[in-house]
């Protein structure tokens, strides 16, 4: 029989649900064919999941199965599947997004017998019922059924770069949709040079190639010249229903994009965090400088450091998470964003997240920063009784005492849980230390403008696996926090970008000049806005 991993336990304000580090591995025998079915442990209903199947005697050799949908790392097991495979020993894992425990096991096939086995998937937490709805902000187009892949990962929102497949799903009637409610898919996003352009009206598809360049006299320019990404940003960003996100936070153009004033979101988790292979360096942009440039987690931590410097430079841009345009072999929703919203009848009392009721409402909450980005831990945080994205306002001389609270479910061993205040660690603890403290977090005492975020980092070895809330903001006299060190961080980035541009032919270089000049002026003005008392404070990783 299958054995369920350790049960969840309450620790103060945090519900920490930790799967066993060595999941049970039952063994069963079969003939040349084995039929495997999967059900939810709670209600015994059949469910869709992702299954990774390998030869036990040849580790790392993944197996495909006829009439199933491949998902890069594994395949979709649509309630049940017949495994007709060569004789031998096999190992399997069943993974249904981060809210379920991972079930592993093994079996062997011989020529003579048949067998059937049912697997029960235990859920750790049901985020949707707690008001948090999951979404993937950037999914590459694929010939394989997206609704089926979303259901296998317990994912509810997906924004696709192109059209999804509409062919019938093998084993289902033409009108039989996968059991996944809600399931909202937006096909109007377009990717270009590290940017994603979103249009949130389903009746209109966004095509960045429709943007028209004009010269100084308002005449249509030579259409044979493609627009620069920043030119598309300026033109499309003026449209009310268009939002623009930086999908590649390492892009050399980042300081120019930020200076344009058209950036609505930045990917904190993206296609540099993948299950199919390790990404150890930045090939399309600026890599991490200094000593911390090697190791499996370096790129993930570099993306986080860029985002923190962005906050320290006075921007209020929410984090996003998704597969990314280069993550075609990564299961949909591996990097995901959970969003919630305040209840409609909220009157200032204790607050809990409430489910969104549409794809458009999901995105509205995401753009407000009412979110948590994750590729593993399930974090439901509050600060001062408010969801992420809230702006606390105060006057000079005030001291805001903001109590942090959280619920947390984790499957991987956790390295640390931290409260970050203005780029510095305000509180850090291992889970056992947190439990000994009764699940209590020390309050944040804010005397100046700034921001706060809560993050959980795991000990997962292949890459950076973590959860981080969108920031809460603290505003004194209506002024954001702007530090000299973070402004200089982006000014140096711009200088390095200019040096690269100088290698271009003169004619091509001239197209970039006005935007680089505008960016220089922007960052010079930023330097003049540095909060006087902050000096050289910086965002530490």
**pLDDT grade, residue 433 (50/70/90)?**
confident
**pLDDT grade, residue 14 (50/70/90)?**
very low
What does DSSP assign to residue 358?
S
pLDDT at 539: 53
- How, if at all, do strands 114-121 and 103-109 pair? unpaired
Contact call for residues 436 and 478 (beta carbons, < 8 A): no
Coil, strand, or helix at residue 414? strand
Q: Is residue 19 scored above 80 in pLDDT?
A: no
Domain extent listing, the chain: 20-121, 131-476
Q: Give mean pLDDT, residues 272-289.
A: 92
Topology of domain 20-121, CATH: Immunoglobulin-like (2.60.40)
358/360 Cα distance (integer angstroms): 5
209/315 Cα distance (integer angstroms): 29
Of residues 119, 97, 178, 126, the one with CA closest to residue 15? 126
- Highest averaged pLDDT of the listed ranges 52-66, 174-188, 400-414: 400-414
pLDDT at 289: 83
Q: Give mean pLDDT, residues 209-233.
A: 56
Residue that has been written with the tokens 């995401």 in this structure: 366
56: tokens are 């036990």
Q: Give mean pLDDT, residues 330-339.
A: 97
Q: Where are the alpha helices (DSSP H) in 137-281?
A: 146-152, 229-236, 254-259
**pLDDT grade, residue 540 (50/70/90)?**
low
Q: Residue 181: CB partners within 8 Å, gap ≥ 6?
A: none
413: tokens are 């061993």
Of residues 156, 167, 525, the one with CA closest to residue 333? 156
**pLDDT grade, residue 6 (50/70/90)?**
very low
Q: Is residue 20 scored above 90 in pLDDT?
A: no
pLDDT at 21: 31
Q: Is residue 40 scored above 80 in pLDDT?
A: yes
Phi, psi at 225, each rounded to 5°: -90, 120
150/49 Cα distance (integer angstroms): 9
pLDDT at 117: 87
Tell me what the pLDDT averaged over the chain comes to: 85
- In order of 1, 25, 88, 112, the CA distances from 32 in angstroms are 21, 21, 9, 6
Q: What angle (nearest 5°) sits at the alpha carbon of residue 149, between those of residues 91 and 35?
A: 40
% pLDDT > 90, the chain: 65
Residue that has been written with the tokens 């304000």 in this structure: 13
Q: Helices 484-501 & 506-528, crossing angle to 10 degrees?
A: 170
**pLDDT grade, residue 294 (50/70/90)?**
low
% pLDDT > 70, the chain: 85
27/39 Cα distance (integer angstroms): 19
Q: Give mean pLDDT, residues 164-179.
A: 78
pLDDT at 440: 82
- Per residue in 228-247, pLDDT (tens digit) is 999 999 989 888 889 999 99
Residue 476: CB atoms within 10 Å: 21
Dihedral over Cα of 196, 73, 186, 98: its sign: negative
Coil, strand, or helix at residue 455? strand
Contact call for residues 366 and 318 (beta carbons, < 8 A): yes
Q: Is residue 137 scored above 60 in pLDDT?
A: yes
- The helix or strand, by DSSP H or E, that contains position 527, with its residue range, turns out to be helix 506-528
pLDDT at 223: 38
Dihedral over Cα of 522, 524, 525, 531: its sign: positive
pLDDT at 248: 98
Q: What is the 3-state secondary structure (H, E, C) of 264-322?
A: CEEEEECCCCCCCCCCCCCCCCCCCCCCCCCCCCHHHHHHHHHHHHHHHCCCCCCEEEC
- Per residue in 66-123, pLDDT (tens digit) is 888 999 899 999 999 888 888 888 899 999 999 999 999 988 887 765 678 889 999 9
pLDDT at 414: 92
pLDDT at 224: 34
pLDDT at 350: 63
200: tokens are 């949130």
476/327 Cα distance (integer angstroms): 41
274/229 Cα distance (integer angstroms): 26
Dihedral over Cα of 123, 124, 130, 131: its sign: negative
Coil, strand, or helix at residue 155? coil
**pLDDT grade, residue 533 (50/70/90)?**
low
Q: Give mean pLDDT, residues 339-365.
A: 86
- In order of 94, 157, 280, 445, the CA distances from 182 in angstroms are 22, 8, 36, 40
307: left (phi over 0), alpha (psi -120 to 50) or beta: alpha
pLDDT at 436: 80
What does DSSP assign to residue 220?
B
pLDDT at 5: 32
* Residue predicted with more confidence, 505 or 295: 505
Q: Is residue 13 scored above 60 in pLDDT?
A: no
**pLDDT grade, residue 512 (50/70/90)?**
very high
* Residue predicted with more confidence, 446 or 173: 446
DSSP structure string for 47-71: -EEEEEEEETTSTT-B---TTSEE-
Q: Is residue 391 scored above 90 in pLDDT?
A: yes
- How, if at all, do strands 450-458 and 466-469 pair? antiparallel
336/135 Cα distance (integer angstroms): 6
Q: Give mean pLDDT, residues 292-312.
A: 90
């Amino acid at each position: 029989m299958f054995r369920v991993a350790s049960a969840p336990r309450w620790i103060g304000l945090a519900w920490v649900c930790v799967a066993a580090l060595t999941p049970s591995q039952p063994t069963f025998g079969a003939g040349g064919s084995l039929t495997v079915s999967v059900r939810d442990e709670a209600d015994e209903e059949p469910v869709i999941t992702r299954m990774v199947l390998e030869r036990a005697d040849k580790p790392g050799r993944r197996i495909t199965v006829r009439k199933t949908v491949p998902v890069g790392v594994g395949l979709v097991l649509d309630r049940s599947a017949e495994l007709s495979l060569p004789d031998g020993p096999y190992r399997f894992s069943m993974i249904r997004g981060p809210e379920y425990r991972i079930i592993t096991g093994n079996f062997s096939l011989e020529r003579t017998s048949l067998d059937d086995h049912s697997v029960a998937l235990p859920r750790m937490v049901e985020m949707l019922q707690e008001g948090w709805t999951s979404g993937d902000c950037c999914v590459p187009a694929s010939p394989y059924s997206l609704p089926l892949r979303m259901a296998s990962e317990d994912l509810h929102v997906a924004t696709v770069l192109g059209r999804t497949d509409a062919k019938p799903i093998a084993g289902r009637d033409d009108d039989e949709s996968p059991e996944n409610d809600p399931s909202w898919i937006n096909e109007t996003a377009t990717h270009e040079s590290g940017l994603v352009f979103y249009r949130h009206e389903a009746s209109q598809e966004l095509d960045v190639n429709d943007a028209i360049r004009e010269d100084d006299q308002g005449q249509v320019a030579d259409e044979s010249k493609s627009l620069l990404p920043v030119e598309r940003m300026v033109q499309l960003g003026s449209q009310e229903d268009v939002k623009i996100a930086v999908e590649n936070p390492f892009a050399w153009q980042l300081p120019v994009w930020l200076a344009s004033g058209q950036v609505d979101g930045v990917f904190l988790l993206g296609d540099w965090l993948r299950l199919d292979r390790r990404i150890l360096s930045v090939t399309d942009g600026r890599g991490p400088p200094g000593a911390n440039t090697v190791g499996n987690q370096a790129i993930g931590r570099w993306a986080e450091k860029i985002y923190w410097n962005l906050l320290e430079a006075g921007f209020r841009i929410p984090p996003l998470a998704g597969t990314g345009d280069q993550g075609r072999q990564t299961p949909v929703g591996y990097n995901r964003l959970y969003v919630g919203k305040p209840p409609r009848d909220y009157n200032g009392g204790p607050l809990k997240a409430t489910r969104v009721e549409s794809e458009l409402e999901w995105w509205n909450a995401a753009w407000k920063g009412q979110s948590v980005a994750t590729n593993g831990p399930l974090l439901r945080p509050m600060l001062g009784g408010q969801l992420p994205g809230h702006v606390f306002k105060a006057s000079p001389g005030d001291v805001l005492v903001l109590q942090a609270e959280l619920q947390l479910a984790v499957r991987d061993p956790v390295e640390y849980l931290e409260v970050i205040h203005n780029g510095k660690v305000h509180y850090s603890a291992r889970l056992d230390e947190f439990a000994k403290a009764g699940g209590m977090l020390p309050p944040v005492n804010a005397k100046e403008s700034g921001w706060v975020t809560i993050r959980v980092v795991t000990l997962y070895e292949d890459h950076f696996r973590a959860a981080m809330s969108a920031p809460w903001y603290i505003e004194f006299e209506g002024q954001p926090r702007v530090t000299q060190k973070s402004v200089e961080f982006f000014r140096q980035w711009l200088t390095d970008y200019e040096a690269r541009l100088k290698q271009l032919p003169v004619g091509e270089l001239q197209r970039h000049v006005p935007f680089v000049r505008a960016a220089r002026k922007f960052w010079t003005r930023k330097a003049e806005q540095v909060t006087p008392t902050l000096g050289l404070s910086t965002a530490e990783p």
